[in-house]
Amino acid sequence: MQAMKVCLLVLLASALALDAPCAQGRSIQRKLAKKPKGVVKTLKGDKGDVIDCVDIYKQPAFDHPLLQNHTLQIAPSSPKYGAPRDNAILDSLLDISWRKNGGCPEGSVPIVRNVLSDRPIIRKNMSSANQESGHQKYPQRTGFNGPTFFVFWTANGYSGTGCYDLTCPGWVLTSSQYYPGMQLQSSTYGGQQIELAMDIKRDQSTGNWWLYLGGTPIGYWPPSIYNGGALTYGADTISWGGEIYDSSGSGGFNTLTQMGSGHFATEGYTRASYVRDIIYTDPNGTPY
């Protein structure tokens, strides 16, 4: 049985912002894709990941036909309500060994070298556009046995648009410190719990959907990739939780594969995975 585990936040087709910390190895054999265009420096992490520092204006996002005339937004223009910014805490949760030789130079963004894989996008019973972010354990896709931070999007209910991380044009990375695909620490049953705080907020000036990781803005979903449809101008639904995908023949659903620790929340804190402190704000910035 092959399964992926994910703790995620999903934003559907107004403007909502959300904040939710999610509690949550060794490298497996990896066949890497070719170096992307615009590389100015290549780095390697201690766990085998290869990071290409790519000119921010030559990153994959701008190969999207609807982003040919897009104006890059370096930072959000509107304030955020949610998790406070604390890079020290965030760094303690992530594998940042790739930075030990100086990190990416100014004007470039870190992009993990893709693993060549035919593993499918996890398709859900939704017919709308969405944005997703969270942590995911999917070795057949990422090349790592442990969890990684991910982003995802689709403009038409998983019918030919969208992808994970930066494996297709669309999602814009602006951070030189953090990137989709970063490896994460894992929680310990009965011990330390690893929480990853995430926020998604629509910028009132540009309409870009900014993603904050540990309170730090790292990139965004441009509204134009939704081509005038849902999520172009706002959202009306948020959801959170976990998912299991089973590729053993059940169609990916109704699997008995365990999630998280495999224990129920009735056992108490540190025994089961959880999502906490869910917050959303209306277009005026009022939190609920």
The residues assigned a catalytic role are 132, 243
Cβ pair 17, 283 in contact under 8 A: no
* Unique residue bearing structure tokens 């365990």: 258
Q: Rounded to an integer, what distance in angstroms lies between the CA atom of residue 140 and that of residue 4? A: 9
Q: Which of 157, 152, 161 is nearest to 66 (CA)?
A: 161
Note the residue count of the chain: 288
Phi, psi at 35, each rounded to 5°: -60, 135
Q: Rounded to an integer, what distance in angstroms lies between the CA atom of residue 166 and that of residue 36? A: 11
Q: Rounded to an integer, what distance in angstroms lies between the CA atom of residue 134 and that of residue 241? A: 10
Q: Rounded to an integer, what distance in angstroms lies between the CA atom of residue 217 and that of residue 210? A: 7
174: Cα separation from own chain's centroid: 14
Q: Rounded to an integer, what distance in angstroms lies between the CA atom of residue 32 and that of residue 20? A: 32
CB neighbour class for 163 (10 Å; exposed up to 12, middle 13-18, buried from 19): middle
249: Cα separation from own chain's centroid: 27
DSSP string, 161-225: --EETTSSS-PEE--SS--TT-BB----TTS---EE-EEEEE-TTT--EEEEETTEEEEEE-GGG
Pair of tokens at residue 248? 């053993």
Q: Which of 239, 205, 211, 209 is nearest to 224 (CA)?
A: 209
